[in-house]
Amino acid sequence: MKRILIIGAGFAGMWSALSAARLIHEQDAKDVEICVVAPEPHLHIRPRLYEEHAASMKAPLSEIFREAGVNFIQGTVERIHPDRDALEVVTTDQRRSTIQYDRLVLATGSRLFRPPVQGLAEHAFSVDQIDEAAALEAHIKQLADQPDTPARNTVVIAGGGFTGIETAAEMPARLRAALGSEATVKVIVVERHREIGPDLGAGPRPVIEEALRELGVTVKLGVEVSSIDVNGLTLSDGKRIDTRTVIWTAGVRASSLTEQVPSERDTVGRLHVDRYLRVKGVNRIFATGDVAYAATDNEGNYAMMSCQHAMNLGRSAGHNVAADLLGAEMIPYSQPKYVTCLDLGPWGAVYTEGWDREVKMVGKEAKSLKTKINTEWIYPPTAGSTRAEVFAAADPRRIVVA
């Protein structure tokens, strides 16, 4: 029996597993096992973690994995040994075991990067992982039990990028829901660049500025958070903001398992891969999703660390890893259409197309698209889907743009 091992059950890992299973089924290869290793058999819907009800932002995978013939090992990979085609897993019962593979797909995603800012580890919240977003939600709810002070009523979001903007736009309404509609709430975004959404470009910026203004969100540009304590934070210009709630959103890094694969990595830790998503210079290992630095086209564009890219990177990696093992034809990864849909809370949303992010839709219309993306398009096939439906959805030739 040959084994394809996939580490991670996020967007990229899940679609890799289903796509590999599709090709194996198509080729009627009975001697190949597909195995996913991840801490739990659920897809965490990370793009929704700035919303309320964070703890419920997950979808079960056991049934569709069973339907597709994918095995699941509940555990965390601690070591990869590319020289011996093996990895070490610690399963949920704390047992350590070594598993051999014939091909490996690394799909362990990314994590919020926390720089060594004084007090950040102890006092800042985040919306990066489900447990972290749930902790923020519990904190906001219990603010109502604290004395009515400016610090209680103020939320500061460190980082004015995609996640920071989406989080900030939600916060005035979420604070009022917790503290009462009469409360004087204050939401402040601190962004070290001179513009909000520095990576989003000039196209959607006027829309973002208008939305944040109308929502009553203050934006402080050209300053950084220097230190955080239990009662507030200090900015790089020496000014102080009293707050009980700092949400850190500035920067992400690829999973640290990438460091165990001997290949070139980009500035955020992603492994350089070829057009088939094989890690460059390393035999039998593929990388996908947020751990892959992958060209999306022949025009010099590279995949973003985004769910939009991770889903198709996953489908391609799964197909190609199985094709490589079976001697079937590989399909180069390609994702020529790039869109963004940024949630702007009760104000609406802004939708752009292309790498220049040309605004195509704003306000309520864009919001209903965002709602569709967040509640339907990014979810896995529902439990009860047939094998044929699951495999059709996993076909790498299917173009998914959201």
Q: For the CB of residue 290, give the shortest distance to ligand FAD in the complex, in Å.
A: 4
Shortest Å distance, C-beta 363 to ligand FAD? 17
Site for ligand FAD contains 290 (CB under 6 A): yes
Identity (one letter) of the amino acid at 339?
A: V
Q: Tell me how many residues contact ligand FAD (CB under 6 A).
A: 32
25: which 2 tokens? 């089924």
Q: Which residues contact 101 (CB under 8 A, 6 or more apart)?
A: 3, 4, 5, 85, 86, 87, 284
Structural contact between residues 47 and 378, judged by C-beta atoms closer than 8 angstroms: yes
Per-residue interface string for the shown chain with ligand FAD, residues 353-372, x marking contact by CB under 6 A:
--------------------
Query: Of the ranges 4-12, 232-240, 278-286, 294-302, which one interacts with ligand FAD (CB under 6 A)?
Result: 4-12
Among 117, 257, 277, 362, binds ligand FAD (CB under 6 A): 257
Whole-angstrom distance, CA of residue 206 vs CA of residue 222: 18
Q: Are 196 and 189 in contact (CB under 8 A)?
A: yes
Residue of 18, 38, 140, 344 interacting with ligand FAD (CB under 6 A): 38
Judged by CB under 6 A, the residue of 4, 5, 6, 11 near ligand FAD is 11
- Residue 99 CA to residue 88 CA, distance in Å, equals 6
- Stretch of 8-16, 177-185, 258-266, 386-394 lying at the interface with ligand FAD (CB under 6 A): 8-16
Q: Does 50 bind ligand FAD (CB under 6 A)?
A: yes
In the complex, least distance from residue 9 CB atom to ligand FAD, rounded to whole angstroms: 4
Residues in the chain: 402
Closest to 278 in 3D by CA, of 132, 138, 103, 63 = 103
Smallest CA-to-CA distance from 52 within 174, 141, 188, 211 is with 174
Among 18, 20, 49, 350, binds ligand FAD (CB under 6 A): 49
Contact track, ligand FAD, 131-170, x by CB under 6 A: --------------------------------x-------
Do 246 and 223 form a contact (C-beta atoms < 8 A)?
no
Which residue stretch of 193-201, 276-284, 299-307, 325-333 sits at the interface with ligand FAD (rule: CB under 6 A)?
A: 299-307
From 117-125, 147-155, 184-192, 304-312, give the range in contact with ligand FAD by CB under 6 A. 304-312
Indicate the residue whose CB is closest to ligand FAD. 10
Q: How far is the CB of 257 from ligand FAD (least distance, A)?
A: 5
Number of other residues whose CB lies within 10 A of the CB of residue 347: 21
Could you tell me where the DSSP H helices lie in 256-386?
Answer: 307-326, 363-372
Does 277 interact with ligand FAD (rule: CB under 6 A)?
no
Does 308 participate in binding ligand FAD (rule CB under 6 A)? yes
Rounded to the nearest whole angstrom, what is the least distance from the CB of residue 38 to ligand FAD in the complex? 4
Candidates 41-49, 60-68, 193-201, 228-236: pick the segment binding ligand FAD (CB under 6 A). Answer: 41-49
Q: Is 148 helix (H, G, I), strand (E, B) or coil?
A: coil
Which of 289, 345, 380, 396 is close enough to bind ligand FAD by CB under 6 A? 289
DSSP, res 198:
G
Instruction: Rule CB under 6 A: say whether 9 interacts with ligand FAD.
Output: yes
Buried b (16+ CB within 10 A) or exposed e, 153-191: bbbbbbbbbbbbbbbbbbbbbbbeebbeeebebbbbbbb
Where does 57-204 have alpha helices with state H? 62-68, 120-123, 130-142, 150-153, 162-179
* Separation between Cα atoms, residue 335 and residue 46, nearest integer Å: 21
Q: Does 91 bind ligand FAD (CB under 6 A)?
A: no
Min dist. Cβ of residue 199 to ligand FAD (A):
13
Q: What share of the chain is helix, strand, coil (3-state, %, to 5)?
A: 35, 30, 35
Taking CB under 6 A as the criterion, which residues in 187-216 touch ligand FAD? none
Q: Which of residues 327-346 bind ligand FAD (CB under 6 A)?
A: none
Closest to ligand FAD by CB, 165 vs 323, is 165
47 near ligand FAD, rule: CB under 6 A: yes
HSE-up of residue 338 (Cα within 13 Å, Cβ side): 20
Residues that bind ligand FAD (CB under 6 A): 7-13, 37-39, 46-47, 49-50, 76-77, 107-110, 127-128, 163, 255, 257, 289-290, 305-308, 310
